[in-house]
Every structure is written in C-alpha cells, then in structure tokens.
Amino acid sequence: MRRRRLAFLLLLGALAWVLAACGGSGGGNGQGQENAGGGTGATGASSDTGGSGGSGGGTSQDEITLSLMHLWPEGSNYAQNMLVKSIVEQFRQENPNIKISIEVLENEQYKDKLKVLSASNSLPDIGFTWAAGFMEPYVKGNLFAPLNDLLDGDLSGQFVAGTTEGYTFDGSTYALPVELNIVPIYYNKEIFAKYGLNVPETYEDLKQIIRTLNDNGVNPITLGGKDAWTASFWYMYFADRLGGDNLLDDAVANQDFTAPALREAAAYAQELVDMNAFVKGFVGLSNEEAKAEFMNENAAMYMMGAWEVPNYTTNPDVPQEFKDKIGFFKFPVIESGKGNVNNWVGGPGVGLFVSENSPHKEEAKKFVSFFVKKWGEMSVSEAGVIPATKVDTNAVDLPQMYIDLLNELNNANKVTLYLDVQMKPVAAEEHYNVIQALFSKVITPDEFVSRQDAALKEGK
C-alpha cells in the first residue's frame, strides 16, 4: 500500500543548503518550486502561482502566500502533478489575493524533508502526511492544526465512512485524506481460461489454482519481497481471514501481537512459499520488478493496491490487448476462519495537513477544503486515483474496473489500514524485517510473532 520510513535548516540562510542536499529525486525531477501553470522550476528556486496579475486590483499588502509541499513529481506522477496544478489555479482564480508557492519532492525525499522541517517548527503552511503511526509524532509535537471545523462544516458527510479515523487522535482530526486504496488480487483472465480456472471463493480454491498453474509451468503469483510492504499485504489478509475484523487493529492498539491467529497467519504465509506460489527469486525482487512479471504475462496473479488500476484501464502506454485481459478478485475466505470476504486491506493514502504554526491558518484551511472537494470531483477521471470522498458512480464516465472497485468500497465490511502505517516507526521497521525473514523462511511463525510483539511493546 508502501511505504517505509525529526536536524533541520535553521533559517532562510540555510534553506539553499537543504534544497541542494535533498535534490535529485527519482525520475529526474529533483525537488523544486513550481507554479500552477508551468513546469518544475530550477532546483531550489522560489516561485509562486499566479503572476503579477490576478491580484484583483489589490495591493501587495493585500496578498498573502501559502506554501504547499507535495510528493507527486511531474516525471513519475504526471497525472497527480497536473491535477494539483489545476486545482491550485482554480483556487487562485477564486481567491486572487492568495498565492500558492509549490514545492515538489519524490516520496522518500518528501518524508525526509518533512522530518527536517518539523525540527524547528518550519513546516509548510499546507502539506501531505500519512496516517496513524507516521503522523503521531507530528500531532504530539503540536505541529499539525486540528481540522474538525472543516469536517463539521463544508466537508460534512463528504468522506467515505472510516477514512478519516487514521488521522484522528483523541477526538481531533489533524489531516484529511485525498486518496483511498484497497488491495485486490489482479489476475490474467486469458491464463485462467486456458487452464479452466475460475476466480477462487475459498483459500482451498486458491491453492488448487496455484497447483494447476505450477503443474503447467506457469508462475502463479508475482511478488516483490525485497519491498517488504508487498509481502505484508499477504500476511494481513491471512490474519484477517483467520482472526476476523479487528484482529490486526487490536494487536497494534493494545501493543500485543500474541493472538493465536497472528501466528497461524504466519504459518499460512509460509505454506504459500512452500507451494512455490511466488515467482522464483521473489525475495530479491523489488515491487517494480515483480510488477513487470505480471505486465509481461509471466505470472498469472499480482496482489497490489488500486493505484495500479490505470495500468489496466486508462494508461495509453499499455496495450489495450493486455488491459482487456486483466480482472481482479477479493482475497478468498478461509473456511475455518472468522473473516469476511468483504474485508479489505488498504485505507487512505496521504492526507492534507495545515501547519499549527502557519501565519495564515484560516486561509490554509480554506485551501484544504477547496482542494479536497475539487480532488474528489476530478481525481478518478483525470488522474486515475480513487478519492477518499464519496463518488457517485452513476454520474461519472469511468472504465468498468473503476466502477467495480468503487462499488466494492461501497459494500466493504471493513478496511484494515496497512500494518506499517498503523505502527509507530520502530515497530514498522521491525515489521519489514520480520516479514522479509518470514517469507524467506529464515524465522519460524513463533519467532515472527515474538519479535513483532517485542517491537510493539517498546512503544516506539
């Protein structure tokens, strides 16, 4: 879903140094300042949206500038980058006295700079954060402003049920999600048809599919185990289907990873490894390498977040012939388990925060409210991103896979937030370690739960 875990510049005099240190993001974009209508500026350059015009006749004293930092570089996340620019420009048209200065960094650089800036309470006026354990230090440090007034006002009733919970601490909500993802299993319908396979309804069905594919020399499932969060999806589904709706949430909240179903889920994961369910060498593959196996039709199944749906529907660089072959199914039930087939692994992606120390807090909140509403209206059709706000599937023209996934969300019994996001940073890092060790069969299921339990109990 993933994922992958505050030393700061002191004053503006040190800003250029930090920008240089953080430069060079993936995809050749680097970090930089943007304006809403143009491309990425020179690294470290400062520019605002709008121009000298657009002030509506006001004087320079009437204008304010809000800083916005996001994590969608144009090169690697073009659709999201263009969508942000469009929303910012629309906001400027309606609020000509407010300029928006945009800074863009690649995902991991973004996380690093957020930590650096927070050390001296110098966060941007508006930025993005992940939920739960990731944002807890910022909330406890009084760095994010509560946004309950927006939820009780302009945005009342706009969000899919449960999506703001991961951003809520002690009754106050400190960020508002813009993305919502669930994790299905994508499959190649042509491969399934060739071997007379149907979508599995039970785990036993899935195991039979794996056996059949192996018997015919076809890789059943591709998995990038080098990126541990991908394997965590499989473990989470086993835990859910065995232990029911609240097993994982309760384990993290209570700092207790000793429930029998948690150990049993680890054993089920190793059963798949023993069955050669995953592509050869999966432990050393990155997610991108594993995805290539599915895109090249070298594996029949691929479990990944709904952010992959554009590759199977709207991406012009993917042949239509391939897109027509791809479907998805829900993780099947385990007949002896307590889980519901309409339970999903997933949750909100990133959410917008307002800095508690912003000198223009009310204007920043106004922008956040505007952004959330516009993103909800435009994100699916223009960027292929499922928003955290409600979507009327009858009112939008979308590929069928999007409609099917949105309808699944409407019917979801439970969406369990990714374990690494739920956990605090130290426990999340240990989760990556033990997941990799589990799927590599370096540790036993008993050792897996023991080490994860100890990390949770550290409370870090």
pLDDT tens, position by position, 135-193: 999 999 999 999 999 999 999 999 987 789 889 999 999 999 999 889 999 999 999 99
- Residue 366 · residue 196 · CB < 8 Å: no
- Average pLDDT value for residue range 237-257: 96
Q: One fold for both 12-179+356-391 and 182-346+414-458?
A: yes
Taking only the tens place, the pLDDT of each residue in 51-66 is 333 333 334 457 999 9
Query: How many CB atoms sit inside 10 A of residue 20's CB?
Result: 12
So what's the pLDDT on residue 38? Answer: 36
* CA–CA gap between residue 1 and residue 183 (Å, rounded): 7
Rounded to 5 degrees, φ, ψ at 220 are -65, -55
Q: Could you give the percent of the chain with pLDDT greater than 70?
A: 87
So what's the pLDDT on residue 395? Answer: 74
Give the bridge partners for 369, in sequence order: none
Looking at residue 34, what DSSP letter applies? E
- Average pLDDT value for residue range 357-362: 97
Architecture of domain 12-179+356-391: 3-Layer(aba) Sandwich (3.40)
- Per-residue pLDDT for 247 more than 60? yes
So what's the pLDDT on residue 339? Answer: 96
- Average pLDDT value for residue range 270-282: 98
> 182-346+414-458, what's its fold?
D-Maltodextrin-Binding Protein; domain 2 (3.40.190)
* CA–CA gap between residue 409 and residue 390 (Å, rounded): 10
Structure tokens at 383: 């960027």
- Residue 418 · residue 232 · CB < 8 Å: yes
Residue 7, judged by CB atoms within 10 A of its CB (0-12, 13-18, 19+), counts as exposed
| 305-309 contacts at long range (C-beta below 8 A, 24 or more positions apart) | 305/1, 305/2, 305/181, 305/182, 305/183, 305/346, 306/181, 306/182, 306/183, 306/184, 306/346, 306/386, 306/405, 307/1, 307/179, 307/181, 307/349, 307/385, 308/186, 309/384, 309/386, 309/401, 309/402, 309/405
- Residue 138 · residue 167 · CB < 8 Å: no
So what's the pLDDT on residue 62? Answer: 77
pLDDT band at 9 (very low <50, low <70, confident <90, very high): very low
Strand 176-177 and strand 172-173: the pairing is unpaired
- Average pLDDT value for residue range 40-54: 36
Taking only the tens place, the pLDDT of each residue in 278-322 is 999 999 999 989 999 999 999 999 999 998 888 899 888 899 999
Angle at 236 between CA 185 and CA 453, to 5 degrees: 165
- Per-residue pLDDT for 222 more than 80? yes
Q: Where are the domains of the chain?
A: 12-179+356-391, 182-346+414-458
So what's the pLDDT on residue 5? Answer: 37
* CA–CA gap between residue 199 and residue 307 (Å, rounded): 22
The whole-chain average pLDDT of the chain stands at 87
pLDDT band at 11 (very low <50, low <70, confident <90, very high): very low
Residue the block writes with tokens 């969060």: 229
Q: What share of the chain is helix, strand, coil (3-state, %, to 5)?
A: 45, 15, 40
Q: Could you give the percent of the chain with pLDDT greater than 90?
A: 69
Q: Specify the pTM.
A: 0.75
- Per-residue pLDDT for 426 more than 80? yes
